[in-house]
């Protein structure tokens, strides 16, 4: 059975790309949220195996959203996804308990490796 | 930004990053060009919200943004909404890499606004163009990356831009 992925990104392009990259990978996008607020509202009902979370979003940003989810669901597996790939952001993501950091742009191999790391590691 | 990094260094960094990100995102090789985009253009814009006070925009022939969308979505047929969404996401990625490069040079942690998309030209209010870098895609398409800095208010010294 495919592992269930929640994608949180204000850009639907990211969701389209991730969905295509995951075809036949053993992972499946089961929920797409366009905002942090939407992700918080849907997380409990979806209970995904893993979440990919964009950082820069209008309203709650990805770091705030990830922190809020992890405060309530400490076993949540969240991968931060961003082009803001520098130490300061890595440290912030790590400090709130994110399992991995994926730098945009990424390819299917890098995405699956990050999902494997988050769910198996 | 120009108070923190010399303009020439900033130009070099922006030039390197736009080429790398465009190639890796969409397989499109940009080279420095002389011609401005034509009549049918689009503009994407972001403003720094933390760390710096300047903003960046990319104006380009709509045909170039359409080709970016086709490549990134791996779809031959794209809609106007696809073009807009891809342009914003592409510029978001581009500016993230710029922020990362600036962090490596200055140790200033930057954040920026969600990109805005405009059919036609767009210039942010209260900013002026500090410099423009022109590109050609090799397929009769042109683009301009523009660095905007705040216009100093009368009686005030501009801060870090």
Specify the pLDDT at position B158. Answer: 42
Specify the pLDDT at position B5. Answer: 84
* Mean pLDDT, residues A76-91 taken together: 85
Low-confidence ranges of chain B (pLDDT < 50): 2, 157-161
Q: Phi and psi at residue B88, in whole multiples of 5°?
A: -70, -40
Residue whose structure tokens are 């465009």: B22
Burial of B117 (0-12, 13-18, 19+ CB in 10 A): middle
Which residue ranges form the domains of chain A, and what is each CATH number?
Answer: 3-120 (3.40.50.2300)
The closest alpha carbon to A82, from A97, A73, A67, A93, belongs to A93
Mean residue pLDDT across chain A: 93
- pLDDT tens digit string along A31-58? 999 999 999 999 999 999 999 999 888 8
ipTM of this predicted complex? 0.78
User: Two tokens at B65?
Assistant: 């943004």
Q: Note whether B100 contacts A86, CB cutoff 8 Å.
A: yes
The confidence band for A85, taking pLDDT boundaries of 50, 70 and 90, is: confident
Specify the pLDDT at position B68. Answer: 96
The pLDDT of residue A21 is above 50: yes
Residues 6+ apart with CB under 8 A from A26: A2, A3, A112
Q: Is B39 helix (H, G, I), strand (E, B) or coil?
A: coil
Nearest CA in chain A to B49: A56
Q: Domain coordinates of chain B in residue numbers?
A: 7-150
The closest alpha carbon to A12, from B72, B99, B112, B57, belongs to B72
In angstroms, the CA A114 to CA A106 distance is 10
CATH 3.40.1550.10 is the classification of domain B7-150: yes
Q: Note whether B24 contacts A105, CB cutoff 8 Å.
A: yes
- pLDDT tens digit string along A53-80? 998 888 999 999 999 999 999 999 999 9
Q: Is A113 helix (H, G, I), strand (E, B) or coil?
A: helix
Specify the pLDDT at position B160. Answer: 47
- Within 65-104 of B, beta carbons closer than 8 Å to A belong to 72-74, 82, 85-86, 88-89, 92-97, 99-100, 103-104
Residues 6+ apart with CB under 8 A from B46: B55, B56, B57, B91, B92, B95, B112, B113, B114, B115, B116
pTM confidence score: 0.86
């Amino acid at each position: 059975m495919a592992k269930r992925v929640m994608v949180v990104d204000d850009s639907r392009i990211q969701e389209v790309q991730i969905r295509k990259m995951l075809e036949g990978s053993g992972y499946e996008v089961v929920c797409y949220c366009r905002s942090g607020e939407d992700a918080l509202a849907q997380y409990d009902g979806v209970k995904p195996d893993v979440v990919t979370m964009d950082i820069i979003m209008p309203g709650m940003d990805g770091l705030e959203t990830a922190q809020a989810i992890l405060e309530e669901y400490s076993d949540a597996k969240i991968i931060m996804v961003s082009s803001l790939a520098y130490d300061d952001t890595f440290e912030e993501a790590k400090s709130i308990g994110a399992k991995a950091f994926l730098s945009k742009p990424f390819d299917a191999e890098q995405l699956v490796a990050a999902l494997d790391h988050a769910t198996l590691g | 930004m120009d108070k923190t990094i010399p303009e020439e260094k900033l130009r070099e960094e922006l030039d390197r990053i736009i080429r790398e990100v465009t190639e890796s995102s969409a397989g499109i090789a940009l080279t420095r060009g002389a011609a401005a985009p034509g009549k049918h253009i689009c503009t994407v814009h972001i403003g720094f919200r933390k760390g710096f006070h300047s903003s960046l925009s990319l104006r380009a022939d709509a045909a170039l943004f359409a080709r970016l969308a086709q490549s990134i979505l791996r779809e031959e047929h794209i809609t106007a909404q696809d073009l807009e969404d891809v342009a914003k996401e592409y510029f978001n990625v581009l500016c993230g890499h710029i922020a990362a490069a600036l962090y490596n040079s200055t140790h200033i942690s930057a954040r920026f606004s969600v990109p805005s998309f405009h059919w036609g030209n767009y210039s942010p209010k209260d900013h002026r163009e500090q410099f423009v870098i022109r590109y050609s895609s090799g397929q009769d398409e042109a683009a301009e990356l523009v660095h905007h800095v705040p216009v100093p208010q009368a009686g005030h010294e501009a801060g870090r831009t």
